[in-house]
């Protein structure tokens, strides 16, 4: 896989060495078990896969290269480069300005953007409408396009399905940048609809069996389907694609629910005429991170820490998985940790909360740890070192890592 030029501040001394050891021992990625790092009074179970993925590294390389090569130009990002506050803050500090927020609300009016400016398309991609707007302004939308190739793979799969007259069912969060972009692209060629979860997919299937009316259906999915969407006609042939950062298992569950609905309605012998197999749109990094988290859950730990941006979809799904097994603290960086308390994000109330005395009073504390695909390894290093600082007799990282080699 391609090696990217990542700024030094995002690299690490601990995690990078650990990942290199795991790659050398398991180049085909068959072993998803965590790495056990025992520092004496505290032990970490470090997930097998986490941190920057291909798409994120590609986006960061392009963004920083653009900054270095164009010191005299105004440089804009359509929205956040990736969902990580440290990375986005650094880009802003270096002079990049965001045109919109994550939901498409405008910070800077399009009238202020000229053909002499550089506009970077983030890793999530963007809509056909914005691509056309950039073209009309004379702005090169290809040179500074950091759209993840695995997102583009979803778009290409949706386009291929549309040529066979399939309606596109997108598993995603309808306000998320990536889902908005995927919806815009699929809507060019085919009726499209967004389902957030298995409950919404079940509601969709109920229409197929006349359990709800067309009016109820359209009201339930308001603003989540293409103009002129007719469920009577447009749900006869469907294929499921996904926002690449969703739970892979949930996408598969949604696909299977809809597949079974088509079998019940049209018969298994006619299935290929009504349902397209689209399992190949699942992102490898999302799959690997979630599989490694599933393996992490099989071990014993006192609690888990997940590090990443609070608006990161892929990170939030790792939290959901770990919460089924451990008390889990979702933090953005090491500054959230103190010896007697931790500030962490509660996804239920969408806000940070404080938990005191989170460290168990015992001879050996075991902590499971992972991060989202947009979290720099350097931040994981900082979290590990902050936690180690609370234990006077802890071994050094060098001592522990040397034992693993």
Residue 155 falls inside a structural domain:
yes
> Among candidates 221, 240, 241, which has minimal Cα distance to 231?
221
We report the CATH number of the domain holding residue 64 as 3.40.50.11270
Same-domain pairing of 27 and 67: no
Same-domain pairing of 108 and 189: no
> Among candidates 295, 168, 293, which has minimal Cα distance to 241?
168
Of 262, 281, 300, which residue sits at a domain end? 281
Distance in angstroms between the alpha carbons of the first and the last residue of the chain = 24
Same-domain pairing of 246 and 276: yes
We report the CATH number of the domain holding residue 171 as 3.40.1010.20
Of 266, 281, 296, which residue sits at a domain end? 281
User: What pTM did the predictor assign?
Assistant: 0.90
The domain containing residue 132 runs over which residues? 54-136
Same-domain pairing of 160 and 109: no
CA-to-CA distance for 294 and 289, rounded, in angstroms? Answer: 9
CB half-sphere exposure, 168, CA atoms < 13 A: 31
CA-to-CA distance for 186 and 155, rounded, in angstroms? Answer: 7
Residue 80 falls inside a structural domain:
yes
Cβ burial of 367 (10 Å; 0-12, 13-18, 19+) is: buried
Same-domain pairing of 343 and 259: no
Q: Which residues does the annotation mark as catalytic?
A: 178
Q: In this structure, is the dihedral angle defined by the CA atoms of residues 346, 349, 350 and 354, taken in order, positive or negative?
A: negative
pLDDT for 245 equals 86
Of 75, 103, 136, which residue sits at a domain end? 136
Same-domain pairing of 61 and 48: no
Number of structural domains, the chain?
3
pLDDT for 247 equals 85
pLDDT tens, residue order, the chain (405 aa): 678 899 999 999 999 999 999 999 999 889 999 999 999 999 999 999 999 999 999 999 999 999 999 999 999 999 988 889 999 999 999 999 999 998 889 999 999 999 999 999 999 999 999 999 999 999 988 899 999 999 999 999 999 999 999 999 999 999 999 999 999 999 999 999 999 999 999 999 999 999 999 999 999 999 999 999 999 999 999 999 999 888 888 989 999 999 999 999 999 999 999 999 776 676 788 889 999 999 999 999 999 999 999 999 899 999 999 999 999 999 999 999 999 999 999 999 999 999 999 999 999 999 999 999 999 999 999 999 999 999 999 999 999 999 887
């Amino acid at each position: 896989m391609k090696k990217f030029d990542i700024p030094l501040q995002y690299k690490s001394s601990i995690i990078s060495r650990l990942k290199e050891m795991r790659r050398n021992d398991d180049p085909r990625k068959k072993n998803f078990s965590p790495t056990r790092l025992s520092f004496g009074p505290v032990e970490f179970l470090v997930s097998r896969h986490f941190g920057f993925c291909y798409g994120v590294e590609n986006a960061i390389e392009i963004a920083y290269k653009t900054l270095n090569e164009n010191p005299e130009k105004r440089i804009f990002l359509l929205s956040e480069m990736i969902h990580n506050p440290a990375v986005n803050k650094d880009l802003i500090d270096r002079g990049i300005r965001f045109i919109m927020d994550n939901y498409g609300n405008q910070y800077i009016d399009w009238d202020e953007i000229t053909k002499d400016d550089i506009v970077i398309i983030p890793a999530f991609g963007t809509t056909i409408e914005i691509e056309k707007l950039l073209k009309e302004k004379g702005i090169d939308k290809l040179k500074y396009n950091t759209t993840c190739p695995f997102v583009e793979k979803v778009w290409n799969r949706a386009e291929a399905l549309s040529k066979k007259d399939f309606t596109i069912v997108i598993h995603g969060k309808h306000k998320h940048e990536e889902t908005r972009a995927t919806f815009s692209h699929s809507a060019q060629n085919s009726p499209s609809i967004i389902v957030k979860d298995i409950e919404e997919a079940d509601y969709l299937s109920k229409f197929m069996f006349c359990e709800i009316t067309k009016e109820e259906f359209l009201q339930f999915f308001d603003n989540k389907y293409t103009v002129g969407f007719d469920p009577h006609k447009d749900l006869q042939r469907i294929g499921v694609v996904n926002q690449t950062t969703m739970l892979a298992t949930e996408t598969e569950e949604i696909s299977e629910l809809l597949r079974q609905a088509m079998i019940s309605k049209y018969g298994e012998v006619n299935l290929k005429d009504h349902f397209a197999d689209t399992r190949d749109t699942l992102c490898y990094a999302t799959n690997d991170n979630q599989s490694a988290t599933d393996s992490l859950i099989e071990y014993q730990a006192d609690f888990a820490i997940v590090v990443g941006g609070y608006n990161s979809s892929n990170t939030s799904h790792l939290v959901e998985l770990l919460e089924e097994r451990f008390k889990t603290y979702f933090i953005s960086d090491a500054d959230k940790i103190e010896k007697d308390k931790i500030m962490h994000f509660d996804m239920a109330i969408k806000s940070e909360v404080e938990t005191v005395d989170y460290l168990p009073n015992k001879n050996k504390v075991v902590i499971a740890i992972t991060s989202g695909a947009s979290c720099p390894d350097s931040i994981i290093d900082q979290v590990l070192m902050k936690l180690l600082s609370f234990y006077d007799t802890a071994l050094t990282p060098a001592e522990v890592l040397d034992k693993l080699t």
